[in-house]
Structure 1
Amino acid sequence: MQAFTTLTGTAIPFGAENIDTDVIVPGRFLKTITRTGLGKIAFFTLRENPDNVFDTERNKGAPILIAGDNFGCGSSREHAPWALADMGIRVVIAPSFADIFSGNSFKNGILLVSLPQAAIDRLMEVAAEHPVTVDLESQTVTTPFQDRFEFAIDPFRKDCLLRGLDEIGLTVAMDDAIAAHEQRLQSDRPWIAGAAQAV
C-alpha cells in the first residue's frame, strides 16, 4: 500500500448524495476478482452521459473526489474502493460514509475525509477551477484561498495510512517479534511448539 502524507491535486466536484456501491460498480461487473481494470467501469451508468463530471479534460485521473452525504451505502462489495483506486482516487471527501465502505476503503489505502456540508459546498466551489490540498499529518483540507478545514480520523487508521501499511504489511512489520515469540515458545513450551510443527 502506498503511504499517504500530503496530496495536492484536482478534486472532482461530484457532490451527489446517497451514492451506493452499485452506482460505483454496477453488479453486472462483479465477475472479476482482480483489483485492476475496474477504473474503466467505475460510475459506469453516470459516465454513459458524455457530459459527466468524471471524464472532463480537467477531472480525468483526478486523485480527489468530493461527494455528498452517505457515500458508499448499499452492499458491502470491496470492488467499489478497488474501482476508485484504479481510476486514481486517493481521497474521498464527503459529509458521511457507510461503515462497511469506510472499512474497505481504509484497507485499500483510500483516505476518507468527513467534513460538514458547509465545507463540502465551499470545496465544490473551489474545485471547479482550483486544486485542493489534503494533509493527513495535520488532518486538514486547504485551498489556495486560505480555507482550512480540520477533520478527525481514527489514530490507528492514520498511522497505517501514513506508513503505507495494510493488515499484511502490519504483520510483516512485526516479523522480528513473531520470530522471537516462536523461539520463546519452543524453549518454554516445547509440547505446544512441537504440536504446531506437526500440523
Structure 2
Amino acid sequence: MIDFDNAAFGIGIGDIQLAVHREAVRLRKETHGNHLAMELILIAKMQDLGLISEDEVEILTTINDIAVRSANGRLEPEEAYHEVRRIYDEMLATGKASPVALVSAGSAAESYISIEDYNDKPTIVYKAKSSGTWEGIGNKIGILIGAKLGGPAGAVLGGMIGGAIGNEVDEKRSEEDGE
C-alpha cells in the first residue's frame, strides 16, 4: 500500500486518482488479475484499519461475491441487483453500519444500471459483465487511501472518488466489449 502517513493536506483529486490507479495495478499483479482476491485483500485492510467491523467484513464479502458471480455470468444481473440492494437497504435501516461500510455497499448497489428493453420494460444490467468489478475495487482502494489522509471521513470521500474511477474503467471496458 502506498504510504500516506506524512502526506500534506494539499493533495488534489488528481493525486488520489493516480494513487488509486497505481494501487490497482499493484494489486492486479499480486493477485494475477483475480478480482475477488483483490476485493478480499482490500476488505481485510479496511478491517485492519478499524474502518469496518467483523460483521461488515462478512456483508461486504457477500456483496463482492454476488458482483463477481454476476460479472462472470453465473448470476443474472437482475437477481444480483435485488440481492445487493436488499443487503444495502438492511444496512441503512439498522442505523448501525459504519459510514465506510455504507459507502462501499452503496457503490456496489449503484454499479447496476437499468435500461429499457424493446418492450419498454426496465431491465437491470450489470456494468461491463465481463469485467465489471473495477468500481468496487476502486472504491475500496479509495477508502484505504482516504483513511490515511483523513480518517473515516477521508475514507468515505476516498471511496466515492475511487468508485467513480473504477466506474469509468467498467464503462470503458463495457464499450470495448460492445455491451
TM surpasses 0.5: no
TM-score band by shorter chain is under 0.3
Query: Greater CA radius of gyration, 1 or 2?
Result: 1
Q: TM-score under structure 1 normalisation?
A: 0.24
TM-score norm. by structure 2 comes to 0.26
The structure richer in strand per residue is 1
